[in-house]
């Protein structure tokens, strides 16, 4: 066999386990969802099989779904931005610190050892009227009456940032850690200020990690449904809540299928854009 | 008939021995412990065949105190008597469980602790019922007949479930801020009282929202004439409420930590708060929301084994232990069974065996409107 | 020398860690709380939740299941993810962008939909739920985390190093294990850590896929939500934190002690 042929075959061997798993466990099952999205929910009993466009008409045509989808993307974007602003310096610190990096990273993942629901609900003990923060503020005499902080969009974003920040930090860290510190020193010795050395050398080189972290934060933020349930007020909902309600509460699998495919399509387009402009291929080219 | 007597007497003997301490408690518990350990060790790798296979019945219910009580008082004696293992699963809600059952194979799920009449009717709609032979469940004679009637209305030929417990969704209020008199005077309308803006809570469940909307607009919840007024009341509540809660745990912490002063609440959860010394009042307004729960046998299950297990679960010992754990009174008729000291003090408890004080939802009416109302509520909740 | 910029970064990092630890701190505090609810200031201290946790078979069993599930998920998912990332970054693969997008797809679908879809497929095949299915489900939605982080690292590893090894006569496999793998170890570790924590913490998929009799810690907690979550769960969190932080710290301290003694 020629070297070229082997060279062409190798990546597929490497990819085959992951792709097989994806096809069997994701794409084939998703076909069922695609089929379901064209069925009709009947008032009681089994759903009506067939080819109906009603669910799609409703999912695409109704301002209700569109507004909540846009709101969801907005919340995900804010969350991602906050994660990047909070996470990048922290990742930089870990990557450049002389301390025990593994321990620092492990500490960051620590909140995950406490179950998500407990973690999210514990914000009530922190921010509530009889929570820890108010208790401290009251005893210090900074406020005379407990502050109302809970159950609005801000607390939803807060909960999401807390959930997603470690993903941002770890992704950025991994990227920063691979950058030769000599490059920055070299830039310095050539007369660049530290800030210039950072923005012109380190930051561009760490973009793959920042982009990967940002993508993760955005996509996971947009797909969340438990956080708004626990930390939001009555009105606060994200798109995944509607999907969950359609499928679980209303038992309307056909509509739920159409809605989830809609979310999948929107996020899929975003990921495709990411891969096209920020993705590995692009960045590899830029670095090469 | 002989079988029944045989079963009952053997069961009776076992219980007698257990009560009198004749059944060696230590070896009994040791046996359970050993079984538990062996079970725990092999669990992660065990490939459970569908529960249809011989010697196994699957039960799904609430975790924590409830499943502990079932395990100790019903599953262990059942298994030691029949040799049939009870595979014990948990769920976090009836809706999510129905979705799982719909996406499963017949026989995979057997018995479930479901919301009484609503779920019963929904399962009947999806053709998931079985026919139980009540002759094999002698303890059914102890159950209040009023609780069985709604099921008979849905499946006249045979029951597919036995009633298990009941409770109410009434008004819970912090007595530091709201007096008993004020509560009685305002009734359900206190939930749309401007004076308590941002101190009001409510369950995120559409049925409860609609039910209380009907009460707030002075209508009969089982025959609502002005639905628009109900939606307006729900909107008013939505704007005054700080939070829709979604679980008993949330309800309790919102009240205990004084995030909210008034909300609807599940009777058992409020009783638990009172037990812990919180000064929370509980009031069932006229036409307050009564409900019941059942043990439902799902289509495709090994019926004989399920009937026998149901009998163990309905036995007074089990019923009382579960009821004391979750604070909802058992379905047993208090005039036929001595329910002990604690249960008669629980809210919603009925000593007469008639349950005449409670209003239950008419399943035909409510399930008929389910598709429309649940969807509309999803929009109303978000401000549409 | 590091200037004020470094100090600002240090302070910022401290604040970030403080933010991350707020809920952890509260949970640890409340695990010693005498009463069930977490009003501050606390009314009393007690160790009873730890005693009850130790005696609670159901939670301990769920904990063991969660650990095993998480570890297996981490191993399988990391292996698949590293192989796929290598292929995408190191080779010219036609349709690379598409494949990259597909590999991220599992986290684009709302989990409840993925959960129902997989069950429908299983039903169609006539297979019962099983632990391997649960594991497979976890592998699928942890895969994107591994792929993203490993790719990001691989891109920054210069091919020169690998080519040097190859030109010095190392086989491709040798080159991978002796050059590439050590260089990308931080990403592999991060990916494995992601996979483990995501699996350990997952609720929606697990609720749908778990076979009878199998409970993980999150499903155990969810089933308690209706009545009340016992503070034993807080105690479990505290125990885990003590193990994951305490042991490495202790190890480091012992190592330092030994080094000092050796040096002295």
Indicate yes or no: CB of B249 within 8 angstroms of CB of C228.
yes
A273 touching C, CB under 8 A?
Answer: no
Residue A123 lies in a domain: no
What is the nearest CA distance from B200 to chain C, expressed in angstroms? 19
> Is pLDDT of B53 > 80?
no
CA distance A258 to A243: 9
For A157, phi and psi rounded to 5 degrees?
-65, -40
* Environment class of A250 (CB within 10 Å of its CB; exposed 0-12, middle 13-18, buried 19+): buried
> Is pLDDT of B51 > 50?
no
Select from A114, A177, A213 the residue whose CB has the most chain C CBs within 10 Å, as the one to mutate to test that interface: A114
What domains does chain B contain, in order, with CATH numbers?
Answer: 2-166+291-359 (3.40.190.10), 167-290+366-381 (3.40.190.10)
**Are residues C49 and C60 part of one domain?**
no
CA distance A237 to A81: 20
For B24, phi and psi rounded to 5 degrees?
-55, 110
**Are residues C64 and C43 part of one domain?**
no
**Are residues C75 and C49 part of one domain?**
no
Q: Is A143 helix (H, G, I), strand (E, B) or coil?
A: coil
Residue B103 C-beta-side C-alpha neighbours within 13 Å? 28
What is the nearest CA distance from B91 to chain A, expressed in angstroms? 13
The pLDDT of residue C186: 85
Residue B369: pLDDT band by 50, 70, 90 thresholds? Answer: very high
Indicate yes or no: CB of C143 within 8 angstroms of CB of A179.
no
Chains that touch B (3 or more CB pairs under 8 A): A, C
CA distance A241 to A230: 12
| Residue of chain C with shortest Cα separation from B327 | C227
B276/C77: higher pLDDT: C77
Q: How many CB atoms lie within 10 A of CB B30?
A: 11
Q: How many domains does chain C have?
A: 2
**Are residues C148 and C30 part of one domain?**
no
**Are residues C130 and C76 part of one domain?**
yes
Q: Are strands B111-115 and B289-297 parallel, antiparallel or unpaired?
A: antiparallel
State the average pLDDT for chain B. 87
The pLDDT of residue A281: 52
Which residues from chain C sit within 8 angstroms of residue A109, using beta carbons? 193, 197
A112 touching B, CB under 8 A?
Answer: no
> Is pLDDT of B5 > 70?
no
> What sign does the CA torsion over C111, C117, C119, C122 have?
negative
Indicate yes or no: CB of A248 within 8 angstroms of CB of B374.
no
User: In the structure encoding, which two tokens stand for residue C99, read together?
Assistant: 């494949």
What is the nearest CA distance from B259 to chain C, expressed in angstroms? 10
Angle at C159 between CA C153 and CA C160, to 5 degrees: 130
Residue A33 lies in a domain: no
Residues with Cβ within 8 Å of A89's Cβ and at least 6 positions away in sequence, in order, are: C9, C12, C13, C16
A27 touching B, CB under 8 A?
Answer: no
Domain residues for C46? Answer: 1-55
What is the tens place of the pLDDT at every residue in A55-80? 999 999 999 999 999 999 999 999 99
CA distance B283 to B173: 8
**Are residues C114 and C32 part of one domain?**
no
Give 3-state DSSP helix, strand, coil % of chain C, rounded to 5: 80, 0, 20
Beta-carbon contacts below 8 Å between A and C: 310
What is the nearest CA distance from A212 to chain C, expressed in angstroms? 6
Select from A7, A8, A19, A25 the residue whose CB has the most chain C CBs within 10 Å, as the one to mutate to test that interface: A25
| Rounded alpha-carbon distances, angstroms, from residue C108 to A261, A263, A280, C115, C148 | 10, 8, 19, 13, 14
| Residue of chain A with shortest Cα separation from B243 | A233
Please write down the HEC assignment for all residues of C101-164: HHHHHHHCCCHHHHHHHHHHHHHHHCCCCCHHHHHHHHHHHHHHHHHHHHHHHHHHCCHHHHHH
The pLDDT of residue B312: 96
CA distance C93 to C87: 8
**Are residues C188 and C103 part of one domain?**
yes
Q: How many domains does chain A have?
A: 1
> Is pLDDT of B96 > 80?
yes
Residue C255 lies in a domain: no
A40 DSSP β-pair partners: A48
Q: Which of residues 55-84 of A touch C (CB under 8 A)?
A: none
DSSP B49: P
Q: Which of B62, B88, B104 sits opposite C123 (nearest CB)?
A: B104
CA distance B372 to B382: 16
Which residues from chain A sit within 8 angstroms of residue C104, using beta carbons? 215, 219, 271
CA distance C108 to C102: 10
Q: How many CB atoms lie within 10 A of CB B24?
A: 11
Is residue B261 a contact partner of residue B150, using CB atoms and an 8 Å limit?
A: no
A21 touching C, CB under 8 A?
Answer: yes
Report CA B49 to chain centroid distance, whole Å.
28
| Residue of chain A with shortest Cα separation from C14 | A90
Angle at B247 between CA B71 and CA C138, to 5 degrees: 70
* Environment class of A194 (CB within 10 Å of its CB; exposed 0-12, middle 13-18, buried 19+): middle
CA distance C86 to B53: 45
CA distance A88 to A67: 31
> Is pLDDT of B47 > 50?
no
C166 touching A, CB under 8 A?
Answer: no
Residues with Cβ within 8 Å of C151's Cβ and at least 6 positions away in sequence, in order, are: A208, A212, A280, C85, C88, C89, C100
CA distance A39 to C207: 25
Is residue C117 a contact partner of residue B99, using CB atoms and an 8 Å limit?
A: no
Nearest to B259, CA basis, from B200, B219, B178, B194? B200
Q: Which of A103, A118, A195 sits opposite C27 (nearest CB)?
A: A118
C64 touching B, CB under 8 A?
Answer: yes
Is residue C78 a contact partner of residue C188, using CB atoms and an 8 Å limit?
A: yes
What is the nearest CA distance from B328 to chain A, expressed in angstroms? 24
What is the tens place of the pLDDT at every residue in B145-189? 999 999 999 999 999 999 999 999 999 999 999 999 999 999 999
Can you state the angle between helices C111-125 and A28-36, rounded to 10 degrees?
A: 100
Select from C112, C212, C225, C231 the residue whose CB has the most chain B CBs within 10 Å, as the one to mutate to test that interface: C212
CA distance C133 to B103: 15
Is residue A280 a contact partner of residue A171, using CB atoms and an 8 Å limit?
A: no
> Is pLDDT of B34 > 80?
no
| Own/partner long-range contacts of B77-82 (Cβ < 8 Å, ≥24 apart) | B77/B11, B77/B14, B77/B15, B77/B18, B77/B312, B78/B308, B78/B309, B78/B312, B80/B14, B80/B28, B80/B31, B81/B10, B81/B11, B81/B14, B82/B305, B82/B308
**Are residues C77 and C182 part of one domain?**
yes
Place of tokens 């409670």: B358
Nearest to C141, CA basis, from C115, C171, C162, C173? C115
| Residue of chain A with shortest Cα separation from B249 | A121
The pLDDT of residue A46: 77
**Are residues C176 and C74 part of one domain?**
yes
CA distance A128 to B257: 8
For C37, phi and psi rounded to 5 degrees?
-105, 155
Residue C261 lies in a domain: no
Report CA C143 to chain centroid distance, whole Å.
12
Q: Which residues of chain A have pLDDT under 50?
A: 286-288
Q: Which of residues 39-68 of A touch B (CB under 8 A)?
A: 41, 43-46, 64, 68
Supply the CATH number for residue A253's domain. 1.10.3720.10
CA distance A164 to A169: 9
**Are residues C73 and C47 part of one domain?**
no
Region label for A163, one of left (φ > 0), alpha (ψ between -120 and 50) or beta (otherwise): alpha
Q: Are strands B111-115 and B241-245 parallel, antiparallel or unpaired?
A: unpaired
C41 touching B, CB under 8 A?
Answer: no
What is the tens place of the pLDDT at every residue in B75-91? 999 999 999 999 988 99
**Are residues C24 and C65 part of one domain?**
no
Is residue B292 a contact partner of residue B163, using CB atoms and an 8 Å limit?
A: yes
| Rounded alpha-carbon distances, angstroms, from residue C110 to A58, A112, A177 | 19, 20, 33
Which residues from chain B sit within 8 angstroms of residue A75, using beta carbons? none
Beta-carbon contacts below 8 Å between B and C: 136
Q: Which residues of chain C have pLDDT under 50?
A: 1, 264
Residue A201 lies in a domain: yes
Place of tokens 């919340």: A75
Indicate yes or no: CB of A234 within 8 angstroms of CB of B241.
yes
Residue A137 lies in a domain: no
Q: Are strands B262-266 and B161-174 parallel, antiparallel or unpaired?
A: antiparallel
CA distance B262 to B178: 8
Supply the CATH number for residue C196's domain. 1.10.3720.10
User: In the structure encoding, which two tokens stand for residue B83, read together?
Assistant: 């040799």
Helix H or strand E encompassing B87: strand B85-90
Which residues from chain B sit within 8 angstroms of residue A121, using beta carbons? 249-250, 253
Q: How many CB atoms lie within 10 A of CB B344?
A: 12
Q: Which of residues 158-197 of A touch C (CB under 8 A)?
A: 162, 165-167, 169-171, 173-175, 177-179, 194-195
Residue A281 lies in a domain: yes
| Residue of chain B with shortest Cα separation from A244 | B96
Cα-Cα-Cα-Cα dihedral of B296, B302, B308, B309, to 10°? -60
CA distance A65 to A242: 8
What is the nearest CA distance from B1 to chain C, expressed in angstroms? 33
**Are residues C122 and C44 part of one domain?**
no
Which residues from chain B sit within 8 angstroms of residue A148, using beta carbons? 198
Q: Which of B45, B48, B326 sits opposite C212 (nearest CB)?
A: B48
* Environment class of A231 (CB within 10 Å of its CB; exposed 0-12, middle 13-18, buried 19+): buried
| Rounded alpha-carbon distances, angstroms, from residue A230 to A1, A55, A216, A236 | 60, 29, 22, 10
């Amino acid at each position: 066999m020629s070297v070229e042929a082997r060279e062409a075959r190798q990546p597929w061997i490497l990819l085959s386990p992951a792709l097989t798993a994806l096809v069997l466990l994701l794409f084939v099952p998703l076909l069922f969802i695609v089929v379901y999205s064209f069925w009709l929910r009947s008032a009681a009993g089994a759903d009506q099989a067939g080819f109906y466009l009603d669910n799609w008409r409703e999912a695409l045509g109704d301002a209700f779904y569109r507004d909540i989808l846009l709101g969801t993307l907005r919340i995900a974007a804010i969350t991602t931005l906050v994660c990047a602003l909070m996470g990048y310096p922290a990742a930089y610190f870990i990557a450049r610190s002389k301390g025990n990096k593994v321990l620092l990273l492990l500490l960051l993942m620590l909140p995950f050892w406490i179950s998500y629901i407990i973690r999210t609900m514990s914000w009530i003990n922190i921010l509530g009227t009889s929570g820890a923060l108010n208790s401290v503020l009251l005893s210090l005499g900074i406020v005379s009456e407990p502050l109302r902080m809970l159950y609005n969009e801000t607390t939803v974003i807060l909960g999401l940032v807390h959930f997603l920040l470690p993903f941002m930090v770890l992704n950025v860290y991994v990227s920063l850690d691979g950058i030769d510190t000599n490059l920055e020193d070299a830039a310095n010795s050539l007369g660049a200020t530290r800030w210039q050395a950072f923005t012109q050398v380190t930051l561009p080189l760490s973009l793959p990690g920042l982009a990967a972290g940002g993508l993760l934060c955005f996509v996971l933020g947009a797909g969340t449904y438990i956080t708004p349930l626990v930390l939001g007020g009555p009105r606060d909902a994200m798109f995944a809540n509607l999907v969950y309600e359609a499928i679980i509460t209303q038992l309307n699998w056909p509509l739920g299928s159409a809605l989830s495919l809609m979310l999948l399509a929107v996020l899929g387009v975003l990921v495709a854009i990411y891969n096209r402009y920020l993705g590995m291929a692009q960045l590899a080219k830029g670095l090469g | 008939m002989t079988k029944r007597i045989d079963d009952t007497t053997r069961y009776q003997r076992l219980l007698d021995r257990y009560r009198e301490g004749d059944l060696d408690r230590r070896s009994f518990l040791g046996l359970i412990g050993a079984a538990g350990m062996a079970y725990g060790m092999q669990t992660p790798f065990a490939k459970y065949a569908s529960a249809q296979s011989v010697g196994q019945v699957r039960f799904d219910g609430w975790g924590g105190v409830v499943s502990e009580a079932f395990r100790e008082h019903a599953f262990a004696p059942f298994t030691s008597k029949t040799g049939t293992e009870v595979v014990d699963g948990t769920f976090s809600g009836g809706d999510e469980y129905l979705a799982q059952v719909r996406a499963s194979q017949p026989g995979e799920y057997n018995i479930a602790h479901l919301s009484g009449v609503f779920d019963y009717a929904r399962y009947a709609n999806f053709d998931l019922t079985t026919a139980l032979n009540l002759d094999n469940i002698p303890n059914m004679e102890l159950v209040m007949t009023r609780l069985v009637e709604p099921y008979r209305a849905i499946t006249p030929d045979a029951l597919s479930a036995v009633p298990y417990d009941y409770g109410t969704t009434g008004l819970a209020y912090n007595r530091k801020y709201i007096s008993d008199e004020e509560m009685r005077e305002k009734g359900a309308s206190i939930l749309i009282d401007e004076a308590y803006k941002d101190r009001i809570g409510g369950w995120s469940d559409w049925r409860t929202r609609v039910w209380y909307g009907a009460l707030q607009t002075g209508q009969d919840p089982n025959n609502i004439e002005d639905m628009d007024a109900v939606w307006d009341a729900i909107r008013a509540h939505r704007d005054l409420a700080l939070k829709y809660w979604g679980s008993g745990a949330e309800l309790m912490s919102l009240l205990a930590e004084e995030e909210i002063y008034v909300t609807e609440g599940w009777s058992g959860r409020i009783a638990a708060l009172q037990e812990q010394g919180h000064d929370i009042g509980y009031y069932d307004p006229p036409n307050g929301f009564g409900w019941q729960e059942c043990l439902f046998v799902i289509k495709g299950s090994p019926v004989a084994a399920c009937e026998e297990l149901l009998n163990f679960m309905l036995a007074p010992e089990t019923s009382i232990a579960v009821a004391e754990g979750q604070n909802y009174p058992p379905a047993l008729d208090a005039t036929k069974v001595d329910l002990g000291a604690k249960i008669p003090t629980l809210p919603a408890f009925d000593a007469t065996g008639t349950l005449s004080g409670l209003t239950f939802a008419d399943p035909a009416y409510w399930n008929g409107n389910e598709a429309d109302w649940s969807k509309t509520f999803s929009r109303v909740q978000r401000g549409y | 020398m590091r200037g004020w910029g470094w100090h600002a970064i240090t302070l910022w990092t401290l604040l970030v860690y403080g933010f991350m630890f707020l809920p952890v701190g509260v949970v640890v505090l409340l695990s010693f709380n005498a009463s069930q609810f977490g009003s501050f200031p606390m009314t009393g201290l007690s160790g009873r939740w730890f005693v009850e946790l130790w005696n609670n078979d159901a939670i301990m069993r769920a904990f063991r299941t969660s650990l095993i599930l998480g570890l297996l998920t981490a191993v399988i998912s990391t292996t698949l993810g590293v192989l796929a990332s290598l292929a995408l970054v190191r080779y010219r693969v036609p349709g690379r962008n598409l494949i990259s997008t597909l590999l991220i797809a599992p986290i684009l679908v709302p989990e409840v939909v993925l959960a129902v879809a997989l069950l429908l497929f299983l039903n169609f095949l006539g297979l019962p739920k099983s632990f391997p299915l649960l594991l497979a489900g976890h592998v699928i939605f942890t895969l994107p985390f591994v792929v993203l982080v490993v790719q990001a690292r691989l891109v920054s590893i210069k091919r020169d190093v690998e080519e040097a090894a190859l030109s010095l006569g190392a086989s491709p496999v040798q080159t991978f294990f002796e050059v590439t793998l050590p260089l990308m170890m931080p990403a592999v570790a991060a990916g494995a850590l992601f996979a483990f924590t995501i699996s350990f913490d997952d609720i929606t998929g697990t609720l749908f896929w778990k076979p009878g009799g199998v409970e993980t810690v999150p499903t155990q907690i969810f089933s308690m939500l209706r009545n009340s979550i016992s503070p034993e769960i807080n105690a479990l969190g505290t125990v885990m934190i003590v193990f994951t932080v305490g042991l490495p710290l202790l190890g480091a301290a012992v190592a330092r002690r030994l080094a000092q003694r050796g040096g002295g």
